[in-house]
Amino acid sequence: MKSFFGPMPNDLLPLAALMASLAVAATLATVAGTSIHLTSSGAYSTKQHIIYIATTTILATIFTAFIASQVRELLLRQIDGGLQGASSIQIAQQTLASYP
């Protein structure tokens, strides 16, 4: 029986990063193509404007860090796989060379 809280599959977080980047791209495309009124009573006050910008910046930084870490992990996984394959070939060659 598999536990719900067990270790996550290796491909789950990169898939989540891909979905997050697609969601951000879709949101940006929607915002760029439509007219959005942030408040019904007019422009934001200075305090609301600062909170809006700070929140947007923090969320963008979190998304960017998460996506970048997953891309880095995938690249490292690819390099590790190549190194493991190379070392396996070298071991096989050494083993074959030791037989008369």
What span, in angstroms and rounded, lies between the C-alpha atoms of 72 and 54?
27
What span, in angstroms and rounded, lies between the C-alpha atoms of 87 and 93?
10
For 37-77, write each residue's pLDDT tens digit: 766 777 778 888 889 889 989 998 998 999 999 889 888 88
For residue 17, is it within any domain?
Answer: no
Question: Do 67 and 22 meet the contact criterion of CB atoms below 8 Å apart?
Answer: no
pLDDT for 54 = 92
**pLDDT grade for 80, boundaries at 50, 70 and 90:** confident
**pLDDT grade for 5, boundaries at 50, 70 and 90:** low
pTM above 0.85, yes or no: no
What average pLDDT does the structure give for the chain? 78
Count of domains for the chain: 1
For residue 75, is it within any domain?
Answer: yes
For residue 10, is it within any domain?
Answer: no
Range of the domain at 92: 69-100
